[in-house]
Amino acid sequence: MIREATPADVPAIHAMIRELAAYERSLDQARATEEQLRDALFREHPAVFALVAEDDGGEPVGFALWFPNFSTWTGTHGVHLEDLYVRPAARGGGHGRALLAELARICGERGYERFQWWVLNWNEPAIGFYRSLGAEPMDEWRIFRLSGEPLRALAAGSTPR
């Protein structure tokens, strides 16, 4: 079953974010707290949303965390999937596909024309899964990120060291 996350899901979602970070070899970078997650998801006007996949016993076994984006080319919003995770013991049970299908349904319901996400180039199981759904890689695009000192330097009008 796929459903919208509730505040009671925050500990499970937080734990799965940490599991995902460990799988992606970046656990030391996963600094978000349960409190930050709860605030982001459940404030009066949230800018980020989550879906939860449950097993037959009602236990959370996966989640999708997403937020709307906007395309100046199509003139419409879209969905950016920040994280998709299904616990290893539940993989192959259709939970990942169901989470993505629900996000695709949200796109259709809201008139969103794009649904996009990033995947690490070494994550062949995920890449194969996404291709099986008809998703296409955007190989000509590169992701850039400013954080830490370079972000602070740019904000201050200087160049980083």
Query: What residues are annotated to the active site?
Result: 130
CB 153 within 8 A of CB 159: yes
Q: For residue 144, give every residue at least 6 positions away whose Cβ sits within 8 Å of its Cβ, in sequence order, or none.
A: none
Nearest-10 crossing angle of helices 34-42, 10-23: 120
Q: How far is Cα 79 from Cα 82, in angstroms, rounded to an integer? A: 9
Phi, psi of 133, deg, nearest 5: -90, -10
- CA-nearest of 30, 40, 31 to 10 is 40
